[in-house]
Structure 1
Amino acid sequence: MSQESFGPESALLVVDVQNDFCPGGALAVAGGDAIIPVINAWMPRFATVVASRDWHPANSVHFSNWPPHCIAGTYGAQFRAGLDTGRFLLVLDKGTNNVDDGYSAFEATSENLESWLRGRGIEMLYVCGLATDYCVLQTVLDALRLGFGVTVLRDGIAAVEVNPGDGQHAQSVMEAAGARFVPSGQN
Structure 2
Amino acid sequence: MKALIIVDVQNDFLPGGELAVKEGDQIIPIINQLQEKFDFIVATQDWHPADHGSFADNHKGKNIGEFIELNGVSQILWPIHCVQGSFGAEFHSDLKRDKWKAIFQKGMNPKVDSYSGFFDNNRQGDTGLGKFLKDSGVDEVFVCGLAEDYCVKFTVLDGISEGFKTHLILDATRAVNLKEGDFAKAMIEMENAGADIVHSSDIE
In the superposition, the TM-score normalised over structure 1's length comes to 0.93
Superposed, 1:86-97 pairs within 5 Å as 86-97=98-109
Aligned residue pair count: 179
The equivalent residue for 2:197 is 181
Secondary structure at the residue paired with 1:150? strand
1:25 aligns with 2:17: yes
Tell me how far apart the structure 1 counterparts of residues 108 and 38 of structure 2 sit (CA, whole Å). 28
1:165 aligns with 2:181: yes
The equivalent residue for 2:54 is 62
Q: Name the one with the larger helix percent.
A: 1
Secondary structure at the residue paired with 2:180? coil
Deviations 1:18-70 (A, max 9, x none): 00000000000000000001100011211110000100000100113100000
Tell me how far apart the structure 2 counterparts of residues 53 and 10 of structure 1 sit (CA, whole Å). 20
1:79 aligns with 2:71: no
The equivalent residue for 1:38 is 30
Contact in 1 for aligned 2:15/2:23 (Cα 8 Å): yes
The equivalent residue for 2:170 is 154
Tell me how far apart the structure 2 counterparts of residues 148 and 179 of structure 1 sit (CA, whole Å). 10
Contact in 2 for aligned 1:27/1:69 (Cα 8 Å): yes
Q: What letter matches 2:202 in structure 1? A: Q
1:100 aligns with 2:100: no
Identity %: 44
The equivalent residue for 1:132 is 148
Q: What letter matches 2:184 in structure 1? A: Q
How far 1:131 sits from its partner (Å)?
0.1
How far 1:107 sits from its partner (Å)?
2.1
Unaligned runs of 5+ in 2: 57-76
Q: Which moved more, 1:59-68 or 1:19-28?
A: 59-68
Contact in 2 for aligned 1:94/1:110 (Cα 8 Å): no
1:47 aligns with 2:47: no
Tell me how far apart the structure 2 counterparts of residues 110 and 135 of structure 1 sit (CA, whole Å). 15
Secondary structure at the residue paired with 1:45? coil
The equivalent residue for 1:115 is 131
Q: Which moved more, 1:23-32 or 1:104-113?
A: 104-113
How far 1:111 sits from its partner (Å)?
4.5
The equivalent residue for 2:2 is 10
Tell me how far apart the structure 2 counterparts of residues 133 and 21 of structure 1 sit (CA, whole Å). 13
How far 1:110 sits from its partner (Å)?
8.5
| Structure (1 or 2) with the larger CA radius of gyration | 2
